[in-house]
Structure 1
């Protein structure tokens, strides 16, 4: 595997900012070196760390990523690091690697969201499959996060009145009912509603309703949607 290293410089120079990154945290230098060689041979960027605390100081990747994490680390152990970064790096799947097959530890890691638990000596084929799956999952999660961020940005662009109108029309109220609820005319409701549809980039009322679900704004019960009033 180490014989492949001489070919890496040209590969690394061709990497874009969105090239997947594999982070490796393992206190065994020989393991880090071997994994680094395998990752770069696969065409991905690689960053290695001896301790969990070193890893915590590095910024998140600009593209899809995954973490190869040793369970038995000298400072924070693998499970502690997993817990520490759980919510902050939700788009970075974790692949645990360990020298011992400890069932309770494995179960705890998988319950906390790890996607794989591999025992040393590591199989190159198994590692490549696990990393490809992790990177694919990371890319999908990043797309989802970006879509959610864009949706919230569009919602933030609404005025307070437009948000009130959006809430009521997606709850199933007719324009006339919304006007009565807010103390404004039906024509004014229609104007606000049109701006809401435009700003939210909604193609239909059903589309707008789905957006309220994505924003966690949907009421517990709905009276139905009245497409005829669009």
Structure 2
């Protein structure tokens, strides 16, 4: 418990932590609201004609909010390397895997809390907007909607862990953020310009995004490149796998 308490204290006293958590909520809700408001009669004459996945649309903001989570994860480790306080940390707590596990646990708890707030507010806001255009409000009593909401919280949490993992590997906040943003945004964009549909589908299936975001889909699941839970599993494999590699290197290095 001592390492966890120490890492919790460090994380919550970082000036950037609360700004980034607030940014996660604000970006997620604002983009989701804008997406829901885009379903006007001009774009979609009727729900029957449109067949829009309104739940996924309401949670569109997770796509942008995850950037703040990635940055938070990277700073939770990278800031210590940048300031040199990582030496004090490993001197006070020599069992390094416990240090990293405590960082990941504290980070996950904070990010998950912000993710719950962001997801619930996104669905609530969309529930106010969608009926004005003839669509039903998303309801958490519906199984697919609940899965999409819970999955969105997990996406944000895993992306934060991904940022932590990258910073542990690279020992640099800027490098970790650059690599992480590339995985989240650049790779999916490049997939769209690949000449081969087969390779486009492979990228969509085996890279963290958009595989992870497939958990938000509630309609036309058979058409997805990868199923909702397997897609989330791909993102989890990246986050946890890189964290495990980072733990090995963290133990092997001088610092």
TM-score of the aligned structures, taking structure 1 as reference length: 0.26
Q: From the two aligned structures, give the one with the greater strand fraction.
A: 1
- Which has more radius of gyration? 1
Q: Which has the higher helix share?
A: 2
**Relative contact order, higher structure (CA 8 A, sep 6+):** 2
